[in-house]
Each structure stands twice: as C-alpha cells, then as structure tokens.
Amino acid sequence: MNSASAPRHAPTFWRRRSWRAAALLPLAALFRFVAALRRWLYRHDFLRRERLSVPVVVVGNVAVGGSGKTPVVAWLAEELLKAGRHPGIVSRGYGGAGGADGKPILVDKDSDPARCGDEPVLLARLTGCPVAVGSDRPAAARALLARHPECDVIVADDGMQHYRLARRLEIAVVDEAALGNCWPLPAGPLREPLSRLAEVDLVLAHGELSPTVRAAAGATPIAAMALVGERFRSLTRPDEWRDAASFAGQRVHAVAGIGRPERFFATLAALGIDAVPHPFPDHYAYRAEDLAFAPGEAKLMTAKDAVKCAAFAPPDAWELPVRATIGADVVGPLLEKLDDGRQTA
C-alpha cells in the first residue's frame, strides 16, 4: 500500500501505522462499528432509504481526501449523454455557504462558487447538465427533478456513505495514496473498510493499486483511469491557450487548493514545468491577495481553483483543464446495470 502521500491537511500520522495512529484505534473501532451498523440498518430497511423516480448512480470513495471523483462525474455525465440519457447531478457542495434557508440550491455555470461550492459550479460548466447541491441529497435530487423533469438519471457526486439516497449503481474511485495506513477514522483516513470495494459495481483505479487493495475489491471489475490535460487557458482571456512547452525555462508558480495538491505539482513536472508549489487547503476560499505575488510570473492552477479565482485573477493566471480517460469497455456494462431495475443499498 502506497502511503507516501495523503491529503495535505490530513494528520501526518494517517500515512503509516505509527504509535500516534495506534493510540486512536479504540475510537477507530467505535467509528467502524457505528458506520457498519448504520449501513446494516439501511440495507435491512430499519432506516428508510428514499427512492427517486429515476435511477441514481453514486460516484464516491472509501477514504477522505481527493481521488479524482469530479472528473469521473463529468466523464460519466458525458457518456450518459452520448447514450441518449438526460443526466442531472447532485452534490453536497463542499466549500459553499449554501442557501440561507438550508434548502437545496440549483446550480448553473454562472453560479457563485462561494455559495454553491467549487465542484458543483465546475461540473455545471464542464457538462452543461442540471446540478443541485444540498446537505440533504434526496431533497436536492427532488428539487432538481422538479425543475428539470427531463432528467432520467441522477449522478450523485461523493455520496457513497449517504445511504438514505437509494442507488442503482456505485462507482468507487480509488487513489491508493489517499488510503494512507488503511485504518478507519480517526486513526486513519478510511470512511469505510477496504472490503466495501467488493460491494460496488466498478472500481476506478487512479494510479496503480497494490495486491492488497485488489484483493479487497474481490470480484468487482477494476478499470484504470487517468487525468489528462496538456494545454493551459488564461483566466482573464478565456479564448487564449498556451502549450506546456511555452512555460519551460520560466519561473512559474503552481497554485492548488485540492485534496492532494502534490498530484497537480507532479502533473506539471511531467509536462516539463518546474513550478514553485503553493498548496492551499481543499475547497479553499481564495481572495485576490492570495494571487498578488510575483507579478508577471505565470500562476498555474487547477480548473477547480480557477472557478473561484476567475473574478479577480491577475493577467498571468492560467488553468489546466483535465479530463478523465477511462476505457470504453466499462460503459456498456454500466448502462446495462443502470437499466436492469435493481437497487443497491
């Protein structure tokens, strides 16, 4: 298991099975028991699952921190559109202030990320699909369907543990570096044990998976995924693009407020760009002063960061849009399962 990296603002002891992590194992055992009990109660209908009038596909993971879920949601929405479906997307809206009345918010490409969250606004821009956010995902989905009755499938972003929303399919995105010591919260980063991967419909491996993780997934199909992006777009001049080679030999800066900023920095290095790293917390609420350094020197950032910075970005700010590349052979089985009428817990 690869424990070389973890979400930047996660405890460092999550990376390996140290004495500090072991000291929290009693609490971790309690967390795991409660999580397992809650799932059992939903699976056996002691707690009510809310079923929508359309099927639900959940994209999530078993650990906290970034694993590449948002590009996967965008990829899935695109594949559903190609298949003639009309997907809508629901999300928690992390990093947003939410509605003043606590009700779901309908999101479009021009919505304020400070209110709705960065990822929902990015998804609205990437996919063109209706998007709704709210801590109550069933309520968010119902609000979306009421406004957009043409939607015939709901994609839930990061909702694997939100069992109140019944689902037809589950896709787990796994970045093994985010699994750390593979212990449950708070001793490690796991929301659920690795054995949970054996119960989903598809595991997308963002990077290599060890034999331990592959064994935990059991018979669940595993497909490789990668995030691909090579050209940079200006935040202040959206029609202007630059190739990675144009930044070679220059002093440039890499700004990343994502779950694993190290992955973005590594992507730039693979493109031949030697950038000064500027990591920020995941879902960070940027201000103009955060980018007011090194005037004239290029500042490169992820699309998720660019959504929040576009309104006040300096002219030397650039984003790297990426897309998830996944084998076409996984789409057919997913569509077949989507249409077979069965629900999972």
Residues 214 and 237 in one domain: no
Cis peptide before 186 (omega within 30 of 0): yes
Phi, psi values for residue 20, rounded to 5°: -65, -40
Examine residue 144 and state whether it is found in any structural domain, yes or no.
no
Residues 261 and 313 in one domain: yes
Residues whose CB falls within 8 Å of the CB of residue 203, separated by 6 or more in sequence, listed in order: 171, 172, 173, 174, 197, 217, 220, 221, 222, 223
Q: How far is CA 309 from CA 8, 118, 199, 286, 321, in A?
A: 20, 10, 39, 7, 14
Phi, psi values for residue 174, rounded to 5°: -120, 120
DSSP assignments along 270-301, one per residue: HTT--EEEEE--TT----GGGG-SSTTS-EEE
Examine residue 128 and state whether it is found in any structural domain, yes or no.
no
Distance between CA atoms of 203 and 65, rounded to whole angstroms? 17
Residues 200 and 256 in one domain: no
Q: Hey, is 310 helix, strand or coil?
A: coil
For residue 206, give the CATH number of its domain.
3.40.50
Examine residue 9 and state whether it is found in any structural domain, yes or no.
no
Residues 249 and 315 in one domain: yes
Per-residue buried b or exposed e for 147-176, using 16+ beta carbons within 10 Å of the residue's own CB: eeeebbbbbbbbbbebbebbbbbbbbbbbb
Residues 72 and 157 in one domain: yes
pLDDT of residue 93: 78
pLDDT tens string 197-252: 999 999 999 999 999 999 999 999 999 999 999 999 999 999 999 999 999 889 99
Residues 168 and 286 in one domain: no
Contact at 8 Å (CB) between 61 and 253?
Answer: no
Identify which of 86-90, 136-140, 178-182 has the greatest average pLDDT: 86-90
Residues 70 and 211 in one domain: yes
Above 60 in pLDDT, residue 97?
no
Residues 299 and 207 in one domain: no
Residues 74 and 45 in one domain: yes
Examine residue 117 and state whether it is found in any structural domain, yes or no.
no
Report DSSP state, residue 314: -
- Number of domains comprising the chain: 2
Examine residue 266 and state whether it is found in any structural domain, yes or no.
yes
Residues 216 and 333 in one domain: yes
Report DSSP state, residue 344: B
Residues whose CB falls within 8 Å of the CB of residue 298, separated by 6 or more in sequence, listed in order: 247, 250, 252, 253, 316, 317, 318
Task: Give the mean pLDDT of the chain.
Answer: 92
Examine residue 204 and state whether it is found in any structural domain, yes or no.
yes
User: For the residues 135-154, what does the mean pLDDT come to?
Assistant: 96
Examine residue 109 and state whether it is found in any structural domain, yes or no.
no
Confidence (pTM): 0.91
Examine residue 123 and state whether it is found in any structural domain, yes or no.
no
Give the domain range for residue 286. Answer: 230-321
Q: Return the closest-CA partner of residue 337 out of 76, 161, 133.
A: 76
Number of Cβ atoms within 10 Å of the Cβ of 52? 19
Residues 54 and 156 in one domain: yes
Residues 174 and 298 in one domain: no
Position 7, amino acid:
P
Above 60 in pLDDT, residue 2?
no
